[in-house]
Amino acid sequence: MRLPIIAGNWKMNTNIDQAVELVKEMRDRLHGIDGVEKVLCPPFVSLSAVKGIIAATSVRLGAQNMYYEEKGAYTGEVSPNMLAGLCEYVILGHSERRQYFGETDEIVNRKVKAAVGAGLLPILCVGERLEEHEAGKTEEVVTRQVREALVGVDTPDGLVVAYEPVWAIGTGKAATGEQANATIGLIRETLASLYGADFAAGTRIQYGGSVTAANIAEFVSQPEIDGALVGGASLKAPEFVSIVEQTSRVRRR
Ligand code: PGA
């Protein structure tokens, strides 16, 4: 049985005070929910403050990005070693990184290698753009992104993959549970071809893209979908708590 994982990607929202307030609003309720791994991914500048507030709870911490070099003259960047010890997870290859910051599959691959090397658990994001979706290229694109991201990576234990169709992110137009389940099944097959059936069967694959309290049950009731990467709805404490609660309930059935 794979433990479902719900991660909140706060993106470039909240200053430190707002982050502290938001996490205080949800901490105790999240802590009380069993059967789901809960991860918060605030901006870099708030990681330390949020870490303090969730210490001694079951809530885990993740970063939204990192650079692949260990240290040096890379003004403005954050290295794997800076994050190790601060958080457990790191979102890599998010479509906004690919779209606005020119991250290629090769860069994502370097980041995955660096994260694994530093003991961080990647939440590797893949997903097709609207025109690729309409051209029937979903399988091709997603399979390529998974393979390229993992070139030269030895069995990445603890890896999480997030399938996020780009056309569903922040648009209010989520995929259907069935669509997401089918593509996630393909991702699992790709993982099986790379690392074997046991690895694939044990690896969690999330859906992301306009997940809300109103549609989370549709996703997590699908057999292949092991949780969600939540953007906008993770900034509202009651809604995020509801998403986690519903996941726990659906998975216990
Ligand atoms: P959204 O974002 O939930 O706001 O669509 C999801 C994501 O980008 O991870």
What domains lie within the chain, and their CATH numbers?
A: 5-251 (3.20.20.70)
Look over the chain and give the mean of its residue pLDDT values, rounded to a whole number. 97
Name the residue of 94, 229, 239 whose CB sits within 8 Å of the most ligand 1 atoms, as the mutation to test its pocket.
229
Q: How far apart, in Å, are the Cα atoms of 218 and each of 123, 181, 183?
A: 22, 10, 15
pLDDT recorded at residue 251:
82
**What percent of the chain stands above pLDDT 90?**
98
Backbone angles phi, psi at 41, to 5 degrees: -120, 80
pLDDT recorded at residue 161:
98
pLDDT recorded at residue 1:
84
**pLDDT digit string (tens) for 34-90?**
999 999 999 999 999 999 999 999 999 999 999 999 999 999 999 999 999 999 999
Pairing of strands 89-92, 160-163: unpaired
* CA 215 to chain CA mean position, Å: 18
What would the two tokens of residue 188 be?
A: 């699992």
What would the two tokens of residue 31 be?
A: 């802590």
Taking the CB of residue 73, how many other CB atoms lie within 10 A of it?
6
pLDDT recorded at residue 252:
75
Stretch (H or E) spanning 101: none
Whether residue 253 is predicted with pLDDT greater than 90 in this model: the reply is no
Q: Is the pTM of this model over 0.95?
A: yes
Q: What is the mean pLDDT of residues 182-189?
A: 98
Q: Ligand 1 atom closest to Cα of 233?
A: 3
What would the two tokens of residue 79 be?
A: 């290295």
**pLDDT digit string (tens) for 144-169?**
999 999 999 999 999 999 999 999 99
**pLDDT digit string (tens) for 11-42?**
999 999 999 999 999 999 999 999 999 999 99
**165 CA distance to ligand 1 centroid (A)?**
10
Gyration radius (Cα) of the chain, Å: 17
| Model confidence band, residue 116 (pLDDT cutoffs 50, 70, 90) | very high
**172 CA distance to ligand 1 centroid (A)?**
9
**What percent of the chain stands above pLDDT 70?**
100
**58 CA distance to ligand 1 centroid (A)?**
23
What's the start-to-end Cα distance of the chain, in Å?
A: 13
Determine whether the shortest distance from the Cβ of 33 to ligand 1 is under 6 A: no
pLDDT recorded at residue 72:
98
